[in-house]
């Protein structure tokens, strides 16, 4: 597959797609009905798979609420093992296809280099080994802890339980508002942990991955995991149902793999292309002070002047902003 048909690779090995990240047509005036409906269809389609997975996991791979009324080693261990298996399947699956088998080599890869295998920045000298360590030894347990507490709250009636067949419209709306809430929550905590001391103590672990791969997605310091998964606490404040809660937990836990693939498109065995489109977040890893949102559902980066679409103009705007910040802190131009 010739990726030069869709973008360009510079002398340093960076591949840039010709298309630029664009904000969702929600906060655009005047209203664009056709563009909005097309976006809405894609939005619902892209998140429906996570809803479907959440349904299967809740119905077939989760103990009953009756069982979860009291904490017990048995059911807690079952959820921990199930979550570990899901993480291995999703993160490990993408890593195997793209980085071990290298099925499409560097076609559509944003950075032509492969993950570091001899770099003292990382635990064990290996980027992948460190990523797996933080994901499996911190991310999965913290995810599980939030999930266990959520089911215990539901089982004991501390969260107002809404029956799906009684209020289907409300719960369907709640389901598809989850990604929007996720992005808003992510933006707030992300800006927080980019502040001086918090960055060096917590977020630097994640940002060591300037050339991210699938396992980088959930490779975070434990305190960042605690903040990141806290988005599910919104379920404690509104009448809800286990399905939206499961969707929020699974989406938070597994979607980072998609956002950190490091590839713009996936080439299938028959030569077709699957749009991965994680360029917006990749630019955050590359440039650090841009694109704090995971995507452009809510254009917070545009509103606060930190958006970067990969263009030379965005580069210049970023450099000017950084220089202005240095000058404001007492530096020199």
In sequence order, what are the beta bridge partners of 16?
A: 8
pLDDT for position 295: 87
pLDDT for position 331: 57
pTM of the model: 0.94
pLDDT for position 110: 97
- CB-CB contact of 155 with 186 (8 Å): no
- CB-CB contact of 134 with 205 (8 Å): yes
pLDDT mean for each 10 residues of the chain (333 residues): 91 94 87 92 91 97 97 98 98 98 96 95 96 98 98 95 94 94 96 94 96 98 98 95 97 96 95 91 94 92 93 92 74 51
pLDDT for position 185: 97
Among residues 148, 298, 230, 178, the alpha carbon closest in space to that of 220 is found at 230
pLDDT for position 323: 85
Question: 78: which 2 tokens?
Answer: 């079952």
């Amino acid at each position: 597959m010739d990726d030069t048909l869709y973008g360009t690779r510079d002398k340093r090995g960076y591949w840039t797609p010709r298309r630029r990240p664009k904000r969702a047509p929600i906060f655009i005036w005047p209203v664009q009905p056709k563009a909005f409906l097309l976006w809405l269809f894609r939005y619902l389609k892209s998140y429906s798979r996570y809803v479907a997975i959440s349904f299967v996991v809740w119905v077939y791979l989760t103990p009953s609420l009756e069982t979860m009324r009291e904490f017990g080693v048995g059911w807690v261990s079952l959820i921990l093992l199930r979550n570990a298996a899901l993480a291995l399947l999703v993160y490990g699956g993408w890593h195997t296809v793209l980085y071990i088998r290298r099925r499409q080599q560097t076609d559509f890869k944003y950075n032509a280099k492969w993950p570091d295998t001899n770099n003292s920045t990382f635990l064990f000298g290996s980027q992948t080994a460190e990523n797996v360590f933080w994901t499996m030894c911190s991310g999965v347990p913290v995810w599980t802890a939030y999930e266990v507490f959520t089911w215990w709250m539901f089982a004991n009636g501390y969260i107002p339980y809404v029956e799906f067949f009684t209020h289907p419209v409300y719960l369907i709306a709640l389901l598809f508002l989850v990604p929007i809430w996720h992005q808003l929550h992510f933006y707030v905590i992300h800006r927080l942990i980019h502040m001086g001391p918090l960055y060096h103590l917590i977020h630097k672990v994640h940002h060591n991955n300037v050339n991210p791969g699938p396992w980088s997605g959930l490779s975070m310091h434990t305190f960042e995991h605690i903040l990141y998964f806290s988005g599910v606490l919104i379920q404690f404040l509104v009448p809800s149902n286990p399905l939206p809660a499961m969707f929020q937990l699974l989406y938070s836990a597994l979607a980072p793999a998609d956002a950190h693939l490091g590839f713009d498109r996936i080439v299938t065995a028959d030569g077709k292309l699957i749009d991965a489109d994680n360029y917006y977040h990749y630019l955050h890893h590359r440039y650090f002070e841009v694109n704090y949102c995971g995507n452009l559902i809510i254009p917070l980066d545009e509103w606060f002047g930190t958006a970067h679409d990969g263009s030379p103009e965005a580069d210049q705007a970023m450099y000017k902003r950084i220089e202005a910040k240095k000058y404001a802190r007492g530096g020199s131009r």
